[in-house]
């Protein structure tokens, strides 16, 4: 069981490194609070082992992170292009 947890932790760390490289290459502005909330929430949920069950369906791993990212992108207000 400890070997499984260790391998799962290492896999999550490697996956997180790849995700951060993608964000850096895309030049995502993490100083914008909206982006920071989305990225930190998705990474935190992605590293954890949480499973969300809705009826007979269960969301885990990448599917759960994708749904969270979509919901947060829809709910959090985008930065207005009009400067006041």
More confident residue, 49 or 6: 49
Question: Domain range spanning residue 37?
Answer: 2-75
Band of residue 15 on the pLDDT scale cut at 50, 70, 90: low
In a domain, 15, yes or no: yes
7-35: string of b/e by CB count within 10 Å (b at 16+)? eeeeeeeebeeeeeeeeeeeeeeeeeeeb
Question: HSE-up of 68 (CA within 13 Å, CB side)?
Answer: 20
Q: What's the pTM?
A: 0.62
What are 17-54's pLDDT values in tens digits? Answer: 666 677 777 787 878 888 888 888 887 887 777 788 88
Q: Are residues 72 and 39 in contact, defined by beta-carbon separation less than 8 angstroms? A: no
In a domain, 48, yes or no: yes
In a domain, 82, yes or no: no
In a domain, 81, yes or no: no
Strands of the chain (E only): list them.
Answer: 52-54, 57-59
How many domains does the chain contain in total?
A: 1
In a domain, 33, yes or no: yes
In a domain, 19, yes or no: yes
Q: Are residues 64 and 45 in contact, defined by beta-carbon separation less than 8 angstroms? A: yes
Average per-residue pLDDT in the chain?
Answer: 75
């Amino acid at each position: 069981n400890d070997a499984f947890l260790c391998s799962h932790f290492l896999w999550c760390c490697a996956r997180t490194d790849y995700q951060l490289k993608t964000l850096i290459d895309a030049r995502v502005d993490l100083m914008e609070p909206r982006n920071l909330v989305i990225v930190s929430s998705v990474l935190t949920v992605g590293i954890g082992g949480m499973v969300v069950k809705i009826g007979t369906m269960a969301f885990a791993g990448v599917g759960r992170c994708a749904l969270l990212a979509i919901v947060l992108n829809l709910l959090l207000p985008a930065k207005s292009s009009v400067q006041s």
